[in-house]
């Protein structure tokens, strides 16, 4: 314990989880300093100007997981968090100009699906309800500290028991079904129930978004549950747009943190965690400045935290092995466009106002896209999630202009044949070429284009492997296995060093749960 330190905690990285964690610690009366390597706060939840007057969420673009408890506890609404679109529909585009619209309007959704399959239209509500029941059983555990299996305390055992009870309380049929689907692939899950390619494509897309998984990869079905477990401003599973883009969310978090007394320093990259005899005593900045702290909290991903900031000299070989084996190669890229007007979607046009657009016209389409990535190429025909936030947030663009934010699956971190520097623009061209089949006039409307590959994400946002979630969200890297077994309680082998980022439970997405859970564990240790 570094009693003489001016700071009770130094948080490395002002991404959303770092800010959440810092805010909670400060709210409890602690002196907290957040150090951000970049010029501004936000991490992967930032907005950027890609053309004079045109602002768009650089990386993450849809808010659907931010925990209501975090919003309330940190008074984020008072600090500027607002939604420009609280409940986005899903508009799946098909190359022939057809579309499928899924929204919270039950009848409209039913009618839309019926044009492809009456059976599917009938079965979707039941499918969703079941998914929601499963998600409901899991939801409380997003905010719980994962239990330790060996050497656990009564609290660890109680968490396990509660999980068991939650699953058992689903009832016999649902429990069996949950246990059946938890490890299977999403293709099997949706093919069990539905017959229309377009609906299966939509569901399968959501199961692989942000992951290096295809619909036929094991455990991809679980991602649907995980996604459903998220909440947006109290609406379960709802997709929303924050006003001002994703940067506004972290701006609100930063404002909230500061209101509790958190000090935030930008352009202060941390080079090392200072460690004396297996205990963290502070950090050393790249500038050489040393900052002492009672506790060091890392919002950096586990690989960066342990291999770079701590270093193998302070760690055991077997632990380092586990960290090196975390699957964290990103496969999602982002293409952001500034447009001089809305693209022509033909007959689907009227529906885009309050929807995200999906290019995922079938399970096979997505799986083929994944196949390319599996062997080190970007997808010849990528699957995409597209938002046009300027439709309901005029503050992002000048009069008449629009911004389009495109999340592209798949763009593997390890690109064969020369790496991303040589292929970034070709990739951007390729995405637009694919989109041209759905929006023929799009390319003529582009004022500016920004391509963010996993390579860029690693360099500019300091995320190892460019993985959005600081490590694949896959069954074997979740809960008590995240980031590595035995260290899923936000604590690390180094005393007084904690993890608070997406690399820890419950993982990525703009959720804030990891930051909040970490703060709880840190304070628990402090009160010992």
Distance in angstroms (rounded) separating the CA atoms of residues 522 and 525: 5
Strands 355-359 and 290-298: unpaired
Distance in angstroms (rounded) separating the CA atoms of residues 464 and 509: 16
* Residues from 288 through 307 that contact another protein (CB under 8 A): 307
118 lies in the binding site for another protein (CB under 8 A): no
Which one of residues 96, 316, 344, 429 is an interface residue with another protein (CB under 8 A)? 316
Least gap, CB of 57 to another protein (angstroms): 36
Which one of residues 152, 195, 271, 319 is an interface residue with another protein (CB under 8 A)? 319
Please identify, using beta-carbon distances, which residue of 258 and 486 lies nearer to another protein: 486
Please identify, using beta-carbon distances, which residue of 286 and 344 lies nearer to another protein: 286
Distance in angstroms (rounded) separating the CA atoms of residues 17 and 514: 6
DSSP state at residue 59? S
Please identify, using beta-carbon distances, which residue of 308 and 372 lies nearer to another protein: 308
Helix, strand, or coil here: 60? coil
320 lies in the binding site for another protein (CB under 8 A): yes
525 lies in the binding site for another protein (CB under 8 A): no
Distance in angstroms (rounded) separating the CA atoms of residues 18 and 7: 15
Please identify, using beta-carbon distances, which residue of 311 and 341 lies nearer to another protein: 311
Strands 355-359 and 89-93: parallel
Please identify, using beta-carbon distances, which residue of 276 and 399 lies nearer to another protein: 276
Please identify, using beta-carbon distances, which residue of 324 and 416 lies nearer to another protein: 324
Peptide bond into 410 cis (omega under 30): yes
User: Site mask, another protein, residues 475-504, x = CB under 8 A?
Assistant: ------------------x-----------
Tokens of 408: 């592209």
Adjacent-strand bridge partners of 292: 282
313 lies in the binding site for another protein (CB under 8 A): yes
280 lies in the binding site for another protein (CB under 8 A): no
- Number of residues counted as binding another protein (CB under 8 A): 15
311 lies in the binding site for another protein (CB under 8 A): yes
Judge contact between 303 and 319, C-beta under 8 A.
no
Of 1-9, 62-70, 309-317, 424-432, the segment contacting another protein by CB under 8 A is: 309-317
Residue 26 falls in which region: left (phi positive, over 0), alpha (psi -120 to 50) or beta: alpha
> 341 vs 36, 402, 461, CA distance in Å?
36, 6, 30
Least gap, CB of 507 to another protein (angstroms): 25
Backbone torsions φ then ψ of 446, nearest 5 degrees? -80, 125
Least gap, CB of 496 to another protein (angstroms): 13
Please identify, using beta-carbon distances, which residue of 39 and 318 lies nearer to another protein: 318
157 lies in the binding site for another protein (CB under 8 A): no
Strands 270-276 and 355-359: unpaired
153 lies in the binding site for another protein (CB under 8 A): no
Distance in angstroms (rounded) separating the CA atoms of residues 60 and 39: 18
Judge contact between 458 and 465, C-beta under 8 A.
yes
528 lies in the binding site for another protein (CB under 8 A): no
324 lies in the binding site for another protein (CB under 8 A): yes
Of 31-39, 160-168, 308-316, 475-483, the segment contacting another protein by CB under 8 A is: 308-316
Of 20-28, 227-235, 315-323, 505-513, the segment contacting another protein by CB under 8 A is: 315-323
Contacts of 278 (CB under 8 A, 6+ apart): 314, 493, 494, 495
Residue with tokens 């010849």, as numbered in its chain: 380
Angle subtended at Cα 68 by Cα 76 and Cα 473, rounded to the nearest 5 degrees: 110
> 14 vs 36, 217, 242, 307, CA distance in Å?
5, 33, 19, 20
Helix, strand, or coil here: 514? helix
In 3D space, the residue among 200, 235, 202 whose CA is nearest the CA of residue 104 turns out to be 235
Please identify, using beta-carbon distances, which residue of 313 and 417 lies nearer to another protein: 313
Of 61-69, 187-195, 311-319, 517-525, the segment contacting another protein by CB under 8 A is: 311-319
Please identify, using beta-carbon distances, which residue of 313 and 399 lies nearer to another protein: 313
Least gap, CB of 458 to another protein (angstroms): 18
Neighbour count for residue 70 (Cβ, 10 Å) = 22
> 348 vs 205, 206, 336, CA distance in Å?
20, 21, 21
User: Site mask, another protein, residues 214-253, x = CB under 8 A?
Assistant: ----------------------------------------
Which one of residues 318, 350, 375, 399 is an interface residue with another protein (CB under 8 A)? 318
Of 198-206, 313-321, 356-364, 475-483, the segment contacting another protein by CB under 8 A is: 313-321
271 lies in the binding site for another protein (CB under 8 A): no
Q: Which residues form the interface with another protein (CB under 8 A)?
A: 278, 307, 311-321, 324, 493
């Amino acid at each position: 314990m570094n009693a003489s330190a001016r700071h009770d905690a130094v948080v490395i990285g002002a991404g959303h989880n770092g800010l959440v964690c810092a805010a909670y610690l400060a709210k409890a009366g602690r002196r907290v300093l957040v150090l951000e390597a970049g010029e501004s706060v936000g991490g992967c939840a930032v907005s950027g100007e890609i053309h004079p007057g045109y602002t768009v969420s650089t990386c993450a673009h849809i808010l659907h997981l931010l925990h209501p408890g975090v919003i309330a506890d940190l008074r984020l609404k008072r600090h500027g968090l607002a939604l420009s679109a609280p409940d986005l529909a899903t508009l799946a585009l098909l190359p022939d100009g057809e579309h499928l619209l899924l929204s919270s309007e039950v009848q409209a959704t039913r009618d839309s699906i019926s044009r492809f399959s009456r059976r599917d239209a009938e079965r979707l509500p039941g499918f969703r309800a079941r998914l929601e029941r499963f998600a409901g059983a899991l939801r409380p555990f997003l905010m719980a500290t994962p239990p330790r299996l060996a050497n656990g305390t009564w609290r660890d055992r109680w968490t396990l028991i509660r999980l068991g009870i939650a699953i058992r309380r689903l009832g016999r049929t649902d429990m069996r079904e949950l246990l059946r689907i938890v490890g299977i692939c999403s293709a099997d899950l949706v093919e069990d129930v539905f017959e229309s390619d377009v609906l299966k494509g939509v569901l399968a897309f959501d199961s692989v978004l942000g992951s290096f998984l295809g619909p036929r990869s094991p455990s991809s079905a679980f991602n649907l549950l995980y996604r459903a477990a998220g909440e947006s401003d109290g609406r379960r599973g709802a997709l929303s747009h924050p006003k001002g883009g994703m940067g506004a969310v972290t701006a609100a978090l930063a404002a909230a943190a500061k209101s509790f007394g958190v000090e935030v320093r930008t352009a202060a990259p941390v080079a090392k965690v200072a460690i004396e005899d297996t205990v963290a005593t502070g950090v050393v900045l790249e500038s050489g400045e040393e900052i002492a702290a009672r506790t060091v909290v890392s919002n950096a991903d586990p690989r960066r935290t342990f291999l770079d900031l701590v270093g193998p000299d302070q760690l055991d070989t077997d632990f380092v092995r586990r960290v090196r084996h975390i699957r964290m190669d990103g496969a999602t890229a982002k293409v952001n466009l500034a447009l001089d007007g809305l693209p022509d979607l033909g007959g689907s046009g009227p529906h885009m106002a309050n929807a995200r657009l999906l290019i995922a016209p079938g399970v096979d389409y997505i799986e083929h896209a994944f196949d390319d990535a599996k062997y080190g190429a970007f997808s010849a025909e990528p699957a995409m999630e597209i938002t046009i936030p300027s439709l309901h947030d005029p503050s992002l663009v000048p009069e008449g202009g629009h911004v389009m934010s495109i999340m592209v699956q798949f763009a593997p971190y390890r690109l064969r044949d020369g790496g991303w520097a040589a292929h970034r623009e070709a990739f951007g061209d390729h995405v637009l070429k694919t989109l041209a089949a759905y929006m023929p006039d799009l390319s003529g409307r582009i004022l500016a284009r920004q391509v963010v590959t996993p390579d860029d994400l690693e360099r500019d946002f300091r995320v190892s492997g460019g993985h959005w979630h600081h490590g694949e969200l896959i069954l074997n890297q979740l809960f008590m296995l995240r980031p590595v077994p035995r260290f899923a309680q936000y604590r690390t082998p180094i005393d007084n060093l904690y993890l608070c980022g997406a690399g820890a439970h419950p993982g990525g997405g703009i959720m804030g749960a990891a930051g909040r859970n970490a703060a709880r564990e840190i304070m628990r240790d402090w009160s010992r």
